[in-house]
Amino acid sequence: MFEIKAKDNRGRVGVLKTNSGTIKTPNLMPVIHPRKQAIDVKKYGADIVITNAYLIYKDEELKQEAIDKGLHELINFDGPIMTDSGSFQLSVYGDVDITNKEVIEFQELIKTDIGTSLDIPTAPFVDREKAEEDLEITLERAKEAIDFRNKENMEMKLNSVVQGSTFMDLRRFCARELTKLDADLYPIGAVVPLMESYHYKELVDVVMNSVANLPDSKPRHLMGAGHPMVFALAVAMGCDLFDSAAYILYAEDDRLLSTRGTYKLENLQEMPCSCEVCSNYTPDDLRAMPKEERRDLIASHNLHVSFAELRLIRQAIYEGSLMELVEERCRAHPKLLDAYRQLGKYMEDMEKYDPRSKKSAFFYTGPESLSRSEVKRHMQKLREMPKKRDLVILPSSRKPYSKYISGKLGEFYGYGAQREIDLENTDFMVLDIPFGLIPLDIDEVYPLSQNDAPRIKDVDSLEFIEDFISEFVEYYEQTLIHSKIIKELDIGLYTPHIQSDEIRYKKDDLKKVKAIADYQFGNGAGKALFTGNINIEKSKKTGKIRHIYDGKVIIANMRASDSYLVLSKEGAKRLHSKMPYPQNRVVVNEDSVPFALEGKSVFSKFIVSADENIRANDEVLIVSEEDELLAYGKALLSAHEMNDFNTGQAIKTRKGMKK
């Protein structure tokens, strides 16, 4: 039903299959009132819509027409349709004249594609007793709906809505309990009041505590989220679908949506974008129109803006620049910036889903970038890597640093033991914003070279670097820091060092490929891969390492775009024989063994387990349950996703090990 096609952080471009067609996610479902259809939303890009089954059920004329003709003909939309169960009316009026079982049966009867159980939307900031009582009913009804659907063998897909108000433990509990029921989609409910009151920080808590406890293999729907200024943030948190009547409700009130906020027509001197409406009409033109005509034009603008933003988000996911877009969007409003800063507290979770290599460079756009998963991941790698006796820290320069550093390196200040430096027992690193320190042997690996930051450093980044260096130098007996860095940072405890003329960095290609292997596959991988009569071949055009051989046997290639290693058959054998189980491994079941040996791609349903450190785009070993090496290839999903999905391709196999 749902497959992931591209990833960036928790954001994913997916394909959602329904009885009425396939849609690409993330996507917006415009709300269609069954009796008040102002405009044809499909004309403006809608692939899926949502309407209210309860309103149809309560209107005898509409009800009979829906039963006779079907929902698609009733609202004149031939694509996928989701229906609400009446929960919105329940939240507004406190009661509805329909049972959970009745509304499920009715949604199936009128041939809705995705139906919803009658959950209890619990408003934010209610007392705990109320939230717990409502949640108990929501869970009972969700179970009843799934049981009824399964018993009656319904074709309709089912939503199970995550509730729990603003009690994070209740959100987590609800998500875990709903996961056990195995619904088809998981909306996150009762968040509209948070968005209407600009409580975006609390929205982040609600979404992240819900998503982290929902299955990766099912779409998540942020209910009532229809303003384009929040789409990028919500997608980065793992939301796949949005719905809202905002496009028409705001138009009724002469308000135009944008990614920077909302414009009132009465205040506009210029139209805010280049859509068809904004290109052909002026604010005065719209103000002079009859109310209904003006409303329809503004509604079409609102839809144009919303769908354009979703296209931009999907493109950002494809190229790996989603978080730059999020940072840009969240600077449109102080409360959104609060929300993005709050998201930084969840980066440990985000990192599990973030590919190590992307098509787009990493851009530092402000202090919030310091919390991104790429930064956290690199710093953890630095802490875990083997340390030599001494450390030399150099100032940043032109990238890649190792290419342009040579000769005498200048004046240094010392910390720790005062002794002559042993160049063979020294780690050379460059000070970097935002990655802290970059070892010269791995400086071409993504994103350590493929990043950019302003030359004028902000106070937050300087303090961040100072704190990290103060921590990191404790791993070494002696640290030498270049005088340029000392002038810029306020670290203290340093004294002039007289041996600065002796400090030279010597390039060593074998040392470099071993260090990259350790960084990529884990400590010890470099030694495992590159032993024997190692011959390194470089590109004549760029001078970059391209192929690594043992004699005439290829061990690995180095990818030019990100300097990661791509294993050969021999390389896969060496890595498998020396690195302990389950490192770098994806385990497939017995049925998949002959296909993997032949070099066929691996699908999620055949995966038994995967090393939890695997991320999308990683080079992986494909093994049997007895740890027999079957093949090797590139992961398309993270380990967590591989372990949860039962559909779709998980690994693009490079070659099988069949002789």
pLDDT tens digits for range 20-62 = 999 999 999 999 998 887 788 998 889 999 999 999 999 999 9
For residue 352, what pLDDT is reported? 96
Is the confidence at residue 499, as pLDDT, over 60?
no
In whole angstroms, how far apart are CA 7 and each of 163, 311, 364, 615? 27, 15, 20, 10
Same domain, 477 and 529: no
Task: Indicate if the alpha-carbon torsion angle 188, 193, 199, 200 is positive or negative.
Answer: positive
Same domain, 164 and 176: yes
For residue 210, what pLDDT is reported? 98
In-domain check, residue 367:
no
- The residues, ordered by sequence, that sit 6+ positions from 159 with a Cβ below 8 Å of its Cβ are 82, 114, 115, 116, 117, 183, 184, 185, 186, 187, 221
Same domain, 572 and 591: no
For the chain, report the end-to-end CA distance as a whole number of angstroms. Answer: 36
Helices (H), 8-155: 53-58, 60-69, 71-74, 87-93, 100-109, 128-151
**Nearest 5°: CA angle at 123, between 118 and 129?**
90
For residue 501, what pLDDT is reported? 64
pLDDT confidence of 241, banded at 50, 70, 90?
A: very high
Average pLDDT value for residue range 406-420: 78
Same domain, 473 and 602: no
Same domain, 638 and 573: no
Same domain, 104 and 230: yes
Indicate if 169 belongs to the active site: no
Three-state secondary structure call for residue 545: strand
* pLDDT per position as a tens digit, 186-234: 999 999 999 999 999 999 999 999 999 999 999 999 999 999 999 999 9
Same domain, 401 and 305: no
Place of tokens 């109320």: 130
Report the candidate in 60, 53, 72 with the shortest Cα–Cα distance to residue 116: 53
In-domain check, residue 530:
yes
Highest-confidence segment of 389-403, 417-431, 451-465, 573-587 = 573-587
Rounded CA gap, 6 and 636, in Å?
A: 8
- Side by side, the strands of the sheet bearing 553-558 are 534-538, 545-550, 553-558, 565-567
**Nearest 5°: CA angle at 60, between 56 and 62?**
45
* pLDDT per position as a tens digit, 416-440: 777 778 888 999 999 999 999 999 9
Mean pLDDT score of the chain, rounded to an integer? Answer: 93
Which residue range is the domain that position 461 belongs to?
375-502
Which position among 8, 47, 68, 84 bears the catalytic label? 84
Report the candidate in 32, 25, 27, 48 with the shortest Cα–Cα distance to residue 245: 32
For residue 109, what pLDDT is reported? 96
For residue 203, what pLDDT is reported? 98
Rounded CA gap, 75 and 372, in Å?
A: 44
Same domain, 28 and 111: yes
Average pLDDT value for residue range 515-540: 96
Three-state secondary structure call for residue 118: coil
**Nearest 5°: CA angle at 477, between 471 and 483?**
70
Which of 485, 502, 519 lies at the terminal end of a domain, its last residue? 502
Same domain, 343 and 399: no
Tell me the longest C-alpha to C-alpha distance in the chain. Answer: 92
For residue 487, what pLDDT is reported? 79
For residue 211, what pLDDT is reported? 98
- The residues, ordered by sequence, that sit 6+ positions from 333 with a Cβ below 8 Å of its Cβ are 198, 200, 229, 261
In-domain check, residue 621:
yes
* pLDDT per position as a tens digit, 303-324: 999 999 999 999 999 999 999 9
Average pLDDT value for residue range 157-162: 96
* 39: CATH: 3.20.20.105
CB atoms within 10 A of CB 495: 9
Average pLDDT value for residue range 263-278: 96
In-domain check, residue 363:
no
CB atoms within 10 A of CB 197: 12
pLDDT confidence of 495, banded at 50, 70, 90?
A: low
| Contact present, 201 and 165 (Cβ < 8 Å) | no
Same domain, 479 and 546: no
In-domain check, residue 475:
yes
Rounded CA gap, 164 and 452, in Å?
A: 41
Average pLDDT value for residue range 375-399: 93
Is the confidence at residue 500, as pLDDT, over 70?
no
For residue 491, what pLDDT is reported? 63
* pLDDT per position as a tens digit, 459-488: 999 999 988 998 999 999 989 888 888 877
Average pLDDT value for residue range 148-177: 95
Rounded CA gap, 266 and 261, in Å?
A: 15
For residue 63, what pLDDT is reported? 95
* pLDDT per position as a tens digit, 86-121: 877 776 656 678 899 999 999 999 999 999 999 999
Looking at the chain, the whole-number percentage of residues with pLDDT higher than 90 is: 84
Same domain, 253 and 118: yes
For residue 116, what pLDDT is reported? 95
Average pLDDT value for residue range 351-371: 95
Enumerate helices (H) and strands (E) in the chain, giving the number of each: 26, 31
Report the candidate in 30, 55, 51 with the shortest Cα–Cα distance to residue 40: 30
